[in-house]
A and B are shown apart, each in its own frame.
Chain A
């Protein structure tokens, strides 16, 4: 092990993380190029999947994805979506979200998983810690500073939650870059100068921005975004439609899926496959074997079905883009280029619709899926004082507004406001000796004003009505995280203040959230790595035991022999604790085990899809 691992340097350089809904990517600068980190299974597109065993172990990335059909209830997909999900929305996913919810904390979703309730913040934190470990193992140096991509629609409180998740994941310094800004940075690296409309549309979020690219400077003019549209919603709509049809034909289909949680997972993957087939071939089949009947329920989808689900999403994307041009004071076509990134751009109808609304043909399609990562890495380089990288002048991702007495929302900070930004507003009381004032805060991502948080100012000194001058400050930092302050002007004294976000943690809950999440142990780097490798080894062995329990169709005799030998070797090596041996032994077990897991998974998936 290189000696650099043993000791942390005071300020190490930033790495870049593209935190997608389905896949995460992490990279560091190597000279003028990029060096990507791979997870323990060697994948650089690290699946956004976290598996938590009740015994205390954790798997993330490829390891967790491979085990998902064995442990569906313990395996969380798309952890990032938990940061912005509300309980109601998760319940509506039905069989497709097999985790019990703990709703003890209003405004905060927690899943019963891995033996106790855990918030989205903690689960994202665990995934980020897996990305960090992957980077440390690949780059052979400690990693504690990251530039992370965020969707435009992440509210100030979502950003605060992600910042906390990054701390849980072991990142001491975190900066954010909005996804369209990251894509624009990657595009600008090819020498583009001028004004670009950049649209990023993936599984979970749509985001767009108008960005002016100058030498050594990127200026964001206005941005819009929404989490209400994306590929995951299409897949879910398709999977739910199929299940409803299956239930109509076979009343026991619902309970079949309910009792075999992995089937629901397969439907989601099957839905993705159907979506791709509809784009390329125009038709696709899904089928569900019904045990005991010797038959399968089958339904054929046509391209028109996909277009039907897509139409409202395209309408929303169009409205958002028009709002973006309006906020920037520009007309359709007033840009020099249209840059597109994200998985939804694989659907030609999406590209056509965006080109139509922006008034430009796409100049760049992010075929490799790496644009956001490369852009985030340019931000990372800039923060590490690389003079060749441009400064980014960013604007507020969302407008902020306050509810007036008549119920209308008055804009407090516009979407074109540059960050860091702040406003101070004066409030007063309307009753004698009134000691509290409530303020409703809204945000606007391009579609409509939505309630964001309730600000309660208390301990106002007893005065006549309209006498106190309550000064409430709203400050947004460079990452778009909000800080609220309150004071009585005459006495210049801070007042009681509680900010209760519609979604997420209140000020008081921040403290308890920290207490609930076990603090990372202060251990030497090598010791921590050793413990993680042990945990991973134990979970690999748990997978083998689960496979053996599957009986016929699980492990063939020769496979069983090979895996048993590898498990024995691993058990011995884990006792010893030699890092190099542990890693090589785990790699060998992985190489033997993953093709088998893949086969088991594919076999049950094939049953759903007629090739």
Chain B
């Protein structure tokens, strides 16, 4: 890549390493490339946030607001948007897994899979959630309260499934990172079996996220609006 400002080759996607100018991003680079990182699945807490902040301190548009050359502000907006986009894609372990699977040609992992151990509870869960929904629509607080014990026990089951799934993800991520390291930081040759496990796990985690959110929502009785004006 050549810097638009100093014309020197730049090894960073968003900011020129030589002259410090933000770079306009035409076709967005991959998120790890944008952040200048290897596509690892395991990161320490706060590590990626630190990388994002360091880059933001170099390309945020507020730093270039009063620059005489309009191209500088425009490039910084484009670079900052690409930086935020990249950070969003890889900021948590689930979004990183989904990104790596899509880069491996597995498409968008929108398929939700009921995890093993929750299959018996899935039907009860649907029934309880639809009763809660109905009670809310009718304003039937007694019925909503009657369902709260079911909700609490379902939450415990979902929490258990989430812990098992977290463990499975740690194992999977360890295998990926080991392959990455063996390949000298290049994308590793990964087996079909790993991909199949990862696709199932991504589906299960999508299910757990949705169900976890709906259960948490079911615990809140909708607030009355404040006194009308």
The answer to whether the Cβ of B53 comes within 8 Å of any Cβ in the partner chain is yes
Asked whether A233 lies within 8 Å of B66 as measured between CB atoms, the reply is no
Asked whether B226 lies within 8 Å of A316 as measured between CB atoms, the reply is yes
The answer to whether the Cβ of A392 comes within 8 Å of any Cβ in the partner chain is yes
Q: Which residues of chain B are near A216, meaning CB under 8 Å?
A: 57
Instruction: Tell me, in angstroms, the Cα distance from A219 to B57 when the chains sit together.
Output: 12
The answer to whether the Cβ of A535 comes within 8 Å of any Cβ in the partner chain is no
Contact partner, B229, options A233, A417, A419, Cβ 8 Å: A233
Instruction: Tell me, in angstroms, the Cα distance from A382 to B200 when the chains sit together.
Output: 48
The answer to whether the Cβ of B100 comes within 8 Å of any Cβ in the partner chain is no
Q: Which residues of chain A are near B81, meaning CB under 8 Å?
A: 420-422, 475
Asked whether A447 lies within 8 Å of B227 as measured between CB atoms, the reply is no
Residue in B62, B65, B225, B226 with the greatest tally of chain A CB atoms within 10 Å: B226
Contact partner, A228, options B57, B220, B225, Cβ 8 Å: B225
- Distance to closest chain A CB from B59 (angstroms): 11
**Are A391 and B56 CB-contacts (below 8 A) given A383-B65, A478-B62?**
yes
Contact partner, A316, options B61, B65, B223, Cβ 8 Å: B223
Asked whether A418 lies within 8 Å of B229 as measured between CB atoms, the reply is no
Q: Which residues of chain A are near B87, meaning CB under 8 Å?
A: 418
Asked whether B223 lies within 8 Å of A229 as measured between CB atoms, the reply is no
The answer to whether the Cβ of A190 comes within 8 Å of any Cβ in the partner chain is no
Q: Which residues of chain A are near B216, meaning CB under 8 Å?
A: 326
What count of chain A residues pass the 8 Å CB interface test?
39
The answer to whether the Cβ of B224 comes within 8 Å of any Cβ in the partner chain is yes
**Are A421 and B227 CB-contacts (below 8 A) given A217-B53, A383-B62?**
no
Contact partner, B88, options A214, A383, A384, A418, Cβ 8 Å: A418
Instruction: Tell me, in angstroms, the Cα distance from A236 to B53 when the chains sit together.
Output: 45
Q: Which residues of chain A are near B225, meaning CB under 8 Å?
A: 228, 312, 316
**Which residue of chain A has its CB nearest to the CB of B78?**
A420
Instruction: Tell me, in angstroms, the Cα distance from A392 to B84 when the chains sit together.
Output: 14
Asked whether B226 lies within 8 Å of A391 as measured between CB atoms, the reply is no
Asked whether A418 lies within 8 Å of B84 as measured between CB atoms, the reply is yes
What count of chain B residues pass the 8 Å CB interface test?
27
Contact partner, B223, options A319, A326, A384, A391, Cβ 8 Å: A319
Q: How does the 8 Å CB contact mask read for B30-73 relative to A, with 1 for contact and 0 for none?
A: 00000000000000000000001100110011110110000000
Instruction: Tell me, in angstroms, the Cα distance from A362 to B7 when the chains sit together.
Output: 53
The answer to whether the Cβ of A385 comes within 8 Å of any Cβ in the partner chain is yes
Instruction: Tell me, in angstroms, the Cα distance from A391 to B65 when the chains sit together.
Output: 13
The answer to whether the Cβ of A393 comes within 8 Å of any Cβ in the partner chain is yes
- Distance to closest chain A CB from B215 (angstroms): 13
**Are A447 and B88 CB-contacts (below 8 A) given A219-B53, A383-B62?**
no
Asked whether A478 lies within 8 Å of B61 as measured between CB atoms, the reply is yes
Asked whether A421 lies within 8 Å of B226 as measured between CB atoms, the reply is no
Instruction: Tell me, in angstroms, the Cα distance from A170 to B60 when the chains sit together.
Output: 27
Q: Which residues of chain B are near A478, meaning CB under 8 Å?
A: 61-62, 77
Q: Which residues of chain B are near A393, meaning CB under 8 Å?
A: 53, 56, 60
Asked whether A447 lies within 8 Å of B60 as measured between CB atoms, the reply is no
The answer to whether the Cβ of B90 comes within 8 Å of any Cβ in the partner chain is no
The answer to whether the Cβ of B208 comes within 8 Å of any Cβ in the partner chain is no
Q: Which residues of chain B are near A233, meaning CB under 8 Å?
A: 226-227, 229
**Are A391 and B57 CB-contacts (below 8 A) given A312-B226, A383-B66?**
yes
Among B174-229, those with CB < 8 Å from A are 216, 220, 222-229
- Distance to closest chain A CB from B94 (angstroms): 13
Asked whether B226 lies within 8 Å of A92 as measured between CB atoms, the reply is no
Asked whether B229 lies within 8 Å of A236 as measured between CB atoms, the reply is yes
The answer to whether the Cβ of B85 comes within 8 Å of any Cβ in the partner chain is yes
- Distance to closest chain A CB from B75 (angstroms): 13
Q: Which residues of chain B are near A229, meaning CB under 8 Å?
A: 226
Among A400-447, those with CB < 8 Å from B are 417-422, 447
Instruction: Tell me, in angstroms, the Cα distance from A393 to B80 when the chains sit together.
Output: 11
The answer to whether the Cβ of A315 comes within 8 Å of any Cβ in the partner chain is yes
Residue in B53, B87, B222 with the greatest tally of chain A CB atoms within 10 Å: B53
Among A214-242, those with CB < 8 Å from B are 214, 216-217, 219, 228-229, 233, 236-237
Instruction: Tell me, in angstroms, the Cα distance from A233 to B225 when the chains sit together.
Output: 12
Instruction: Tell me, in angstroms, the Cα distance from A419 to B85 when the chains sit together.
Output: 10
**Which residue of chain A has its CB nearest to the CB of B84?**
A418
Instruction: Tell me, in angstroms, the Cα distance from A219 to B61 when the chains sit together.
Output: 15
**Are A420 and B80 CB-contacts (below 8 A) given A382-B62, A391-B62, A478-B61?**
yes
Q: Which residues of chain A are near B85, meaning CB under 8 Å?
A: 421-422
The answer to whether the Cβ of A93 comes within 8 Å of any Cβ in the partner chain is yes
- Distance to closest chain A CB from B91 (angstroms): 9
Q: Which residues of chain B are near A477, meaning CB under 8 Å?
A: 77
Asked whether B229 lies within 8 Å of A420 as measured between CB atoms, the reply is no
Instruction: Tell me, in angstroms, the Cα distance from A175 to B62 when the chains sit together.
Output: 10
Asked whether A417 lies within 8 Å of B227 as measured between CB atoms, the reply is no
**Are A420 and B84 CB-contacts (below 8 A) given A382-B62, A383-B65, A391-B60?**
yes
Q: Which residues of chain B are near A175, meaning CB under 8 Å?
A: 65
**Which residue of chain A has its CB nearest to the CB of B216?**
A326
Instruction: Tell me, in angstroms, the Cα distance from A391 to B64 when the chains sit together.
Output: 12
Asked whether B229 lies within 8 Å of A89 as measured between CB atoms, the reply is yes
- Distance to closest chain A CB from B27 (angstroms): 13
Instruction: Tell me, in angstroms, the Cα distance from A326 to B219 when the chains sit together.
Output: 14
- Distance to closest chain A CB from B45 (angstroms): 11
**Are A417 and B226 CB-contacts (below 8 A) given A217-B53, A383-B66, A391-B56?**
no
The answer to whether the Cβ of A309 comes within 8 Å of any Cβ in the partner chain is yes
Contact partner, A420, options B61, B220, B228, Cβ 8 Å: B61
Instruction: Tell me, in angstroms, the Cα distance from A608 to B223 when the chains sit together.
Output: 36
Asked whether A447 lies within 8 Å of B56 as measured between CB atoms, the reply is no
Q: Which residues of chain B are near A228, meaning CB under 8 Å?
A: 225-226
Q: Which residues of chain B are near A89, meaning CB under 8 Å?
A: 229
Q: Which residues of chain B are near A315, meaning CB under 8 Å?
A: 223-224
- Distance to closest chain A CB from B141 (angstroms): 15
Asked whether B226 lies within 8 Å of A392 as measured between CB atoms, the reply is no
Asked whether B229 lies within 8 Å of A92 as measured between CB atoms, the reply is yes
Contact partner, B227, options A217, A309, A392, A419, Cβ 8 Å: A309
Asked whether A417 lies within 8 Å of B66 as measured between CB atoms, the reply is no
The answer to whether the Cβ of A313 comes within 8 Å of any Cβ in the partner chain is yes
Q: Which residues of chain B are near A448, meaning CB under 8 Å?
A: 222
**Which residue of chain B has its CB nearest to the CB of A13?**
B66
**Are A421 and B84 CB-contacts (below 8 A) given A391-B56, A391-B62, A478-B62?**
yes
Instruction: Tell me, in angstroms, the Cα distance from A555 to B123 when the chains sit together.
Output: 81
Asked whether B57 lies within 8 Å of A384 as measured between CB atoms, the reply is no
Among A98-146, those with CB < 8 Å from B are none
Asked whether A417 lies within 8 Å of B61 as measured between CB atoms, the reply is no
Asked whether B66 lies within 8 Å of A385 as measured between CB atoms, the reply is yes
**Which residue of chain B has its CB nearest to the CB of A93?**
B229
Asked whether B57 lies within 8 Å of A217 as measured between CB atoms, the reply is yes
Among A292-341, those with CB < 8 Å from B are 309, 312-313, 315-316, 319, 326
Q: Could you jot down 17 A-B contacts, CB within 8 Å?
A: A228-B225, A233-B229, A237-B227, A312-B225, A312-B226, A316-B225, A316-B226, A319-B223, A382-B62, A384-B66, A385-B66, A391-B60, A391-B63, A392-B62, A417-B84, A422-B85, A475-B81
Interface residues of B (CB under 8 A from A): 52-53, 56-57, 60-63, 65-66, 77, 80-81, 84-85, 87-88, 216, 220, 222-229
- Having A315-B224, A391-B62, A393-B60, one finds 20 other A-B pairs with CB under 8 Å, namely A89-B229, A217-B53, A219-B53, A228-B226, A233-B226, A233-B229, A312-B224, A312-B226, A313-B226, A313-B227, A319-B220, A383-B65, A383-B66, A385-B66, A417-B88, A418-B52, A418-B87, A420-B61, A422-B81, A475-B81
The 8 closest A-B CB pairs, nearest first, are: A418-B84, A312-B226, A420-B81, A313-B226, A383-B65, A229-B226, A319-B223, A237-B227
